[in-house]
Amino acid sequence: MNRNDILKIIYQELEKVNADHIPLKEQTDMTTDLNVDSVSVMDLMFAIEEEFDVAVPLNDLADIRTIGELADLVEKIGAA
Amino acid sequence: MGDIFQKFEHIKKVRGHFLEQSACNPLGIKIDEIYSPTQARILGQDCIMLGTNNYLGLTMNDEAIAQSVEATQTAGTGTTGSRVANGSYQGHQALERRIADYYDRKHCILFTTGYQANVGFISAITGKDDYVLIDADSHASIYDGCKLGDATILRFKHNDPENLAKKLARLPEDANKLVIIESVYSMLGDIAPLKEFAAVSKKYGAYIMVDEAHSMGIFGENGRGLCESEGVEDQIDFIIGTFSKSVGTIGGYCVSNHDGLQDLRYAARAYVFTASLPPAIVAAAHANLDTIQNTPSLRTQLWNNTDRIYDGLKAMGFTVGPHKTPVIGIQMTDIESGIRAWQILFEHGVYVNMALPPATPAGVCLLRCSVCAAHTPEQIDKIMDAFETVYRTLYGTPKSEAA
């Protein structure tokens, strides 16, 4: 599993709900910079889980704010 | 000092949006007077209530009111204490026995609200090494129960037993697993494939809990819910129910055959650290439960009304939920058309709930209707006329007419 592949899926999924077309970067804070709700962030996990065959607990998502942190988390869980 | 309220700015923005567009805010309506389970005056306007969760119209059941008044006169207006302290009256114990017998289960534990039933049960029963698997469209009380507990929480795709199976297959065989689903979902009124979920849970050795908030009183010969009508009750470990829908009052409960349920009386914080239900509520719930079990005609009436409203809306061309239940969620294309539709209905004397993301699935704006057994044929005529005006205003000629 490649970090860039993970980021690609995250960008792709977030773009679907990024109604205000805010530029997406690794530093983008999904909870404050983007006008997306918590459910949208949870929903994008289904695409990631399917693509990389992982299961990400909601507990771990609670601390995630930026796109980069989310990619780190998926990479860590995938490697475990 | 910073502004501690800054975090609510985005909510205020949405609320401002509503106020700009609407003479009255659909999310903040105030009811002047309630005339009957289906009629009220809102902002000076007489309305038919089509957004109440009062499925059987029992909020003004004469017998429940009489029992409730008597209970207040004999036992007072409140218990002022927890069930583990001074708040466990004979009425609470009798009601628990009554509910357990109704479900033919060994144990029942009462909570002060349905919300607390989910929060209390889920947070207490799951420990650090356990896994909880919840449906993606679960009610906020289920999410909150998970958040308060120590277990690992996994979320599976809505109404998708295959996705659940995939998640269960990854977990350690000897770990405790609890699957949580609702039988009827509160926003779109869609129904869970209970048999499939029960089979998957059994295959992977998981406990299964079903929240019957929007199905109790509606499905099953005795009104116990979808587990009864689907014939899967013996495969379900825990059933959570509420008094604030069909039962027409407030309160929540959990029933089970597992003896361990009794341990929750000491472990569930939402049970221990809150006052118990007031005697009036306990008496009303008891009386209405008797009515629910002994009056199947209420269910027949509810389903007849549901047929008319759901089928009528669908025929007109509205996008309704996939299953016909008394919860009818009409999907609007955007918030603006949702507000416009809500206003037209209100001007025509019909009140429905307006539901917005993230409380709704897939980010849709919903006009949420809940059918009541007490809606009269004349009220339903008026409801359908109002919806026809909505359709004509927003979309043109209704499909039923064009056909």
Q: DSSP assignment of B205-227, as one string?
A: T-EEEEE-TTTTTTSSTTS--HH
B146 and chain A: CB distance < 8 Å anywhere?
A: yes
Please check whether residue B35 is in contact with residue B41, taking contact to mean a CB–CB distance below 8 angstroms.
Answer: yes
Q: How far is A36 from chain B (nearest CA, A)?
A: 9
Q: For strand B365-370 and strand B131-135, is the pairing parallel, antiparallel, or unpaired? A: unpaired
In order of their start, the domains of chain B are: 13-49+296-402 (3.90.1150.10), 61-294 (3.40.640.10)
Q: Residue B113: CA atoms inside 13 Å, Cβ hemisphere, count?
A: 6
Q: Do B152 and A57 touch (CB under 8 A)?
A: yes
Nearest CA in chain A to B168: A55
Local mean pLDDT, 10-residue blocks, chain A (80 residues)? 90 87 92 81 91 93 92 91
Query: With an 8 Å Cβ cutoff, are B357 and A43 in contact?
Result: no
B170 to chain A: nearest residue by CA? A55
Rounded to whole angstroms, the Cα distance separating B82 from B266 reads 11
From edge to edge, which strands make up the β-sheet containing B45-49?
Answer: B31-36, B39-42, B45-49, B350-351
- Quote the minimal CA–CA distance from A26 to chain B in Å: 23
Task: Centre a 10 Å sphere on the Cβ of residue B28 and count the other Cβ atoms it contains.
Answer: 9
Judging contacts by C-beta atoms under 8 Å, the chain A residues touching residue B147 are: 62
Interface probe, candidates A35, A36, A46, chain B, greatest B C-beta count within 10 A? A46
**Which of the residues A34, A49, A51, A61 would you substitute to probe the B interface, choosing the one with the greatest number of B C-beta atoms within 10 Å?**
A49
Q: Contact at 8 Å (CB) between B206 and B171?
A: no
pLDDT by residue for chain B (403 residues), tens only, comes to: 899 998 888 777 766 666 666 666 787 789 999 999 999 999 999 999 999 999 999 999 999 999 999 999 999 999 999 999 999 999 999 999 999 999 999 999 999 999 999 999 999 999 999 999 999 999 999 999 999 999 999 999 999 999 999 999 999 999 999 999 999 999 999 999 999 999 999 999 999 999 999 999 999 999 999 999 999 999 999 999 999 999 999 999 999 999 999 999 999 999 999 999 999 999 999 999 999 999 999 999 999 999 999 999 999 999 999 999 999 999 998 888 998 999 999 999 999 999 887 778 777 899 999 999 999 999 999 999 999 999 999 999 999 887 6
Distance CA B369, CA B48 (A): 11
The matching CATH number, chosen from 1.10.10.10, 1.10.1200.10, 3.20.20.140, 3.30.160.100, for A3-79 is: 1.10.1200.10
Rounded CA gap, B241 and B233, in Å? Answer: 14
Identify residue A47 by its one-letter amino acid code: A
Question: CA geometry: angle at A25 spanning A20 and A28, to 5°?
Answer: 70
* B167 vs A contacts (CB less than 8 Å): 55
Residue of B nearest to A41 (CA): B358
Residues of chain B neighbouring A17 (CB-CB closer than 8 A): 363
Question: What angle (nearest 5°) sits at the alpha carbon of residue B111, between those of residues B105 and B116?
Answer: 120
Task: Give the residue from chain B lying closest to A55, CA to CA.
Answer: B167
Burial class (CB in 10 A: 0-12, 13-18, 19+), B101: exposed
* Alpha-carbon distances, residue B270 vs B84, B88, B125, B263 (angstroms): 12, 15, 12, 13
Closest CA to B189 of B355, B7, B374, B349: B355
Select from B146, B167, B358 the Cβ nearest to the Cβ of A37.
Answer: B358
Please give the DSSP secondary-structure letter assigned to residue B233: G
Handedness of CA B13, B14, B15, B16 (dihedral sign): positive
Query: How does strand B365-370 pair with strand B353-355?
Result: antiparallel
The shortest CB-CB distance from B154 to any of A39, A57, A62 is to: A57
If one counts every other C-beta atom within 10 angstroms of the C-beta of residue B278, the result is: 24
Question: How many CB atoms sit inside 10 A of residue A37's CB?
Answer: 17
pLDDT of residue B4: 92
Beta-carbon contacts of residue B390 (< 8 Å; ≥ 6 apart): B341, B344, B345
* A-chain residue closest to B151, CA distance: A59
Question: Tokens 């116990």 map to which residue?
Answer: B224
**Interchain contact, B358 vs A39, CB within 8 Å:** yes
Q: Tokens 């010969």 — which residue?
A: B221
What would the two tokens of residue B176 be?
Answer: 């405790």
Sign of CA dihedral B142, B146, B149, B154: positive
Distance CA B140, CA B181 (A): 12
Q: Kindly give, in sequence order, each residue whose CB lies less than 8 Å from that of residue B28, ignoring residues fewer than 6 positions away.
A: B15
Report how far residue B221's alpha carbon sits from residue B228's, in angstroms, rounded to the nearest whole number. 8
Q: And the tokens for A46?
A: 């289904």
**A10 three-state secondary structure:** helix
Cβ atoms of residues B115 and B271 within 8 Å: no
Is the CB of residue A32 less than 8 Å away from at least one CB of chain B?
Answer: no
Cα of B179 vs its chain's centroid, Å: 19
Residues in A closer than 8 angstroms to B152, CB to CB, are 57, 59
Q: Which of A37, A41, A45, A52 to mutate to test the interface with B (most CBs of B within 10 A)?
A: A37
**What is the predicted pLDDT for the residue at B21?**
66
Of B222, B193, B223, B218, residue with least CA distance to B208: B193
